[in-house]
Amino acid sequence: MSTENIIEIRGLNSFYNSRQVLFDITFPIPVSRVTVIMGVSGCGKTTLFRHLTGLKKTAPGQIGIDGKDLGVYSETMLMAYRRRIGVLFQSGALFNSLSLNENIAMPLHVHTDLAEETIRIMTLMKLNMVGLAEFGDYMPSQISGGMKKRAGLARALIMDPEMLFVDEPSSGLDPITAAGLDRLIQNLRQTRGVTIVVVTHELESAFKIADRLVVMDDGRVLASGAPEEIRNSADPRVRQFLSREADSYKMHMEAYYERLLGDQWRG
Partner 1 sequence: MVNPVRSLGAYALRQVYSAGRLGMFFVYTVRGLIRPPGKFRPTVKQIQFIGAKSIAVIGFTAAFTGMVLALQGYHTLTRFGAEGWLGSAVGLSLVRELGPVLSALMVTGRAGSAMAAEIGIMRIEEQIDALECMAIDPFSYLATPRLLACVISLPLLTSFCDALGILGGYLIGVGLLGVSSGAFWSGLTSSVDWGDLYMGLIKSVCFSVLIAWISTYKGYYAGVDEGAFGPEQVGRATTEAVVISSIAVLICDYVITSILL
Ligand X SMILES: Nc1ncnc2c1ncn2[C@@H]1O[C@H](COP(=O)(O)OP(=O)(O)OP(=O)(O)O)[C@@H](O)[C@H]1O
Binding site for Mg ion (CB under 5 A): 46, 90
Residue with Cβ nearer partner 1 (109 or 250): 109
- DSSP state for residue 111 in the 8-state scheme: H
Residue with Cβ nearer partner 1 (43 or 87): 87
Q: How far apart are CA 265 and CA 247, in angstroms?
A: 24
Q: Which of residues 73-92 bind partner 1 (CB under 8 A)?
A: 79-80, 82-83, 85, 87, 89, 91
Of 10, 24, 40, 95, the one binding partner 1 (CB under 8 A) is: 95
Q: Which of residues 87-126 bind ligand X (CB under 6 A)?
A: 90
Residue with Cβ nearer partner 1 (92 or 136): 92
User: 200, 4 in Cβ contact below 8 A?
Assistant: no
Q: Which of residues 26-45 bind ligand X (CB under 6 A)?
A: 39, 41-45
- Asked if 58 interacts with ligand X (CB under 6 A), we say no
Residue with Cβ nearer partner 1 (87 or 181): 87
Q: Which of residues 108-167 bind partner 1 (CB under 8 A)?
A: 109-111, 155, 159
- Asked if 248 interacts with partner 1 (CB under 8 A), we say no
Which residues are registered as beta bridge partners of 37? 199, 214
Strands (E), the chain: 5-16, 19-30, 34-39, 63-65, 68-69, 85-88, 163-167, 195-199, 212-217, 220-225
Q: How far apart are CA 87 and CA 152, in angstroms?
A: 8
CB of 79 to partner 1, least distance (A): 5
Interacting partner of 47 out of ligand X, partner 1, Mg ion, none (Cβ under 5 to 8 A depending on kind)? ligand X
DSSP 201-262: --HHHHHHH-SEEEEEETTEEEEEE-HHHHHT---HHHHHHHTT----TT--HHHHHHHHHT
- Asked if 171 interacts with ligand X (CB under 6 A), we say no
Q: How far apart are CA 201 and CA 46, in angstroms?
A: 13
CB of 216 to Mg ion, least distance (A): 11
Supply angle C-alpha 94, 59, 72, rounded to 5. 85
- Asked if 93 interacts with partner 1 (CB under 8 A), we say yes
Task: Tell me the backbone φ, ψ of residue 33, rounded to 5 degrees.
Answer: -130, 165
- Asked if 68 interacts with partner 1 (CB under 8 A), we say no
Residue with Cβ nearer ligand X (41 or 141): 41
- Asked if 94 interacts with partner 1 (CB under 8 A), we say yes
- Of the candidates 163, 182, 150, the one whose C-alpha atom is nearest the C-alpha of residue 70 is 163
Binding site for ligand X (CB under 6 A): 16, 21, 39, 41-47, 90
